[in-house]
Amino acid sequence: MTTSKMYLNINRTFRNIFGQKTKQNFGKYNIVKPGKVSTQMTVPDHIPKPSYYLTGEPTELISCEEIKNTEQISKMRDSCQLAARILNEVEGYIQVGKTTDEIDKLVFSSCVENNAYPSPLNYKHFPKSVCTSVNNVACHGIPDDRPLQDGDIVNVDITVIISYFLRKYLFHNSNIHLQKMF
């Protein structure tokens, strides 16, 4: 056996301090397979939209670091505070039997009620207003019709654009365990 093959074999298994093979325990959960994705929702005309709204491709290019001014920082703060409020609303809504598509609809309507654009919507052709990753879905999960089950680990990423100040600067919440909410 070559050294590189030996290295790969060692890296494929975990060993305890005595050199015995151990199996890593990630708990019990169901492997998530893609469900049916509903049609993309349309943001009302009165809400300012990013460059990728229609095409799915952003036109803004960031060529270097940008130092934000006071007004930009204030808008970022407003966006993050709205995202946090929406996440709090979603956290109280998540329960066994709900679908991630229902979570998406809640996030979409909360954004629209607050005159905000849900920034994932159509960014690089992403079809939904929120990323919901369940169990084995590492990130950027697309909401669908699969009902949440007891023991699921749910990651909800909410990002918004207010007054057309762009997205995803601060807010991210992960691993909301359903069992904590019952």
Higher pLDDT, 125 or 178: 125
Domains and CATH numbers, the chain: 30-181 (3.90.230.10)
pLDDT (tens digit, 9 = 90+) per residue, 19-46? 565 666 666 767 888 899 999 999 999 9
Tokens representing residue 33 in the block = 């397979």
- CA distance readout (Å), 151 to 5, 26, 28, 79, 93: 37, 12, 7, 31, 16
Tokens representing residue 122 in the block = 């159509």
Rounded CA separation 54/47 (Å): 14
β-strand partners of 156:
132, 173
pLDDT (tens digit, 9 = 90+) per residue, 79-105? 999 999 999 999 999 999 999 999 999
